[in-house]
Structure 1
Amino acid sequence: MTEETAKRRSIVSSSHLVSDEASELSEFEFGLIIASNAFNRWIVRCMSAAGYSDLNTLDIEVLHSVNHRTREKKLADLCFVLNVEDTHTVSYALKKLVRLNLVAGNRSGKEISYSVTDEGREACERYRQIREDCLVKSMGAFGKGSDGEFNQQIGQVADVLRALSGLYDQAARSAASL
């Protein structure tokens, strides 16, 4: 533990997991937990304001992923992009979205490709507008403009999070082999 780290109290949720070699990892994990919960709460509330209060976090993530670039998506592709291991949860979300007429399935042989319906596209657009009004405009408090320092920092954090997902995936594979 460095002298600076020793002087500073770690903000963690599980002090018993703090490592002398990487106390910052415990701080990051606590930050990730609370940010993840806040993000999940946000997307559910945003979609509810858009008129769909029955959707949970995964339903919303799947809807936006199906809508992405207006190309049909297969279950395996959605699971891969969203990094979801339990395909049945995404399958259930797709069935729910089909039932709500937000997504349509197109069977080709054994596989089903999913695309967003007009209603689903409209729901995503309402979500986008609420996101602009409630979230994006609030970011202005951290720095103005799309070229602002805060936007650049958010982009850097996104890069680090994607890299860390690989680290955690590899650690999960290692733990599964024990």
Structure 2
Amino acid sequence: METCDVLADMSRNVEIKAKVRNLGDIVSKAKKLSNSEGTWIEQDDVFFTVPQGRLKLRTFQDKTAELIFYDRPDCDGPKLSKYEKCTLPDGSQIASVLSHALGVKGRVKKNRQLFMVGQTRVHIDNVEDLGNFMELEVVLSEDQTLDEGQVIAETLMADLGVEKEDLISGAYMDLLQK
């Protein structure tokens, strides 16, 4: 599979995103691979208008938040994503400031079941107004190559029964705006 490339100096992961055909099947496989029931996370992501990449404020049920900038290509299959995160005790004030300063591009609300499989975050997402998706994020160490991350992603993809034709490009925000 081809991988697309982007920035430097940031945290990196190799990720894939795919439409889920059989929710029960993929959750069952993720539980087995992670040897856990997973963790449920409710997320409300507000995307801001920026000249490059994506900037979102992710707010959790307890009102804590993460401001996340990331840049990755919009292509199917494993792709390199570079990102920076800032954790905030309360996201409400920064949301207002960023909304006024940059403008809001859109909002994505989802319920996410997170499974850890080695160094990979396996997300099973129910996205409001879109449906069910699966996302893999292979978090790369400084000394790991993109190729090593791709192999891990492709192996997990196969283990979870994700087909190439189920892969999607872009972000949930892009799908909502179509």
Which of the two has greater helix per residue? 1
Q: Which has the larger radius of gyration?
A: 1
Higher RCO (CA 8 Å, separation ≥ 6 residues) = 2
Which of the two has greater strand per residue? 2
For Structure 1 versus Structure 2, the TM-score category normalised by the shorter chain is: under 0.3
- Normalised to the residue count of structure 2, the TM-score between the two structures is 0.22
- Normalised to the residue count of structure 1, the TM-score between the two structures is 0.22
